[in-house]
Chain A
């Protein structure tokens, strides 16, 4: 397996534009996580899916953020409208089951909102 695949690797957009980040988890994994990494706040969990169902989205900063997982092999994180403070590296991770086992991370998407 190629691991967790994220696209794009880099995204530069203007404030107010819609941004969509994409993730393909490892085949067979049923847990998917979206994290945001910044210098100030470290790794923050934004949302967690189990078997394609959103279980906890309490980490999503505000209504501008939304995430979907239409099937077991694809997830998106959307920001609309984007703001400069959304600039960060966004990671997708997947694991075989809930807790107690390794979470595999993608390479991340570096988002810059100008």
Chain B
């Protein structure tokens, strides 16, 4: 069935270093890939998304890349700051279906 795998489950980086989180999806019909950030006690919030007609998208320190052939997409955070510490979820969805298939989450810790 439809599945999104996410790695790593935990990630610790020094402040100022980069962090990379990777996801793999199984449904070839998926064409929308959002990334959510969840802070303690809050609901997931969208931080960046990418559609299948684009290979890369950047928003300040955050970037997402998509390899449709390999069914991989990744989140890149540069110059990490302590406030980047949170749980990050990737997801895959497609037009015409309602399902957002979420990855299992990555707990990112940025060490000051």
Contacts and interface: CB of A to CB of B under 8 A. Distances in A.
A50 interface: yes
A100 B33 CA distance: 8
Interface stretch (A13-21, A62-70, A77-85, A103-111): A103-111
A107 B43 contact: yes
A99 B104 contact: no
Instruction: Give the interface SS of chain B, mostly helix, strand, loop or mixed.
Output: loop
B31 interface: yes
B92 to A, nearest CB: 10
A31 interface: yes
Given A56-B98, A99-B32, A108 B93 contact: no
Interface of B: 31-32, 34, 36, 41-46, 49, 51, 89, 93-100, 102-105
User: Across chains A and B, which 6 residue pairs bring their CB atoms closest together, nearest first?
Assistant: A105-B43, A100-B95, A100-B32, A98-B98, A99-B93, A99-B97
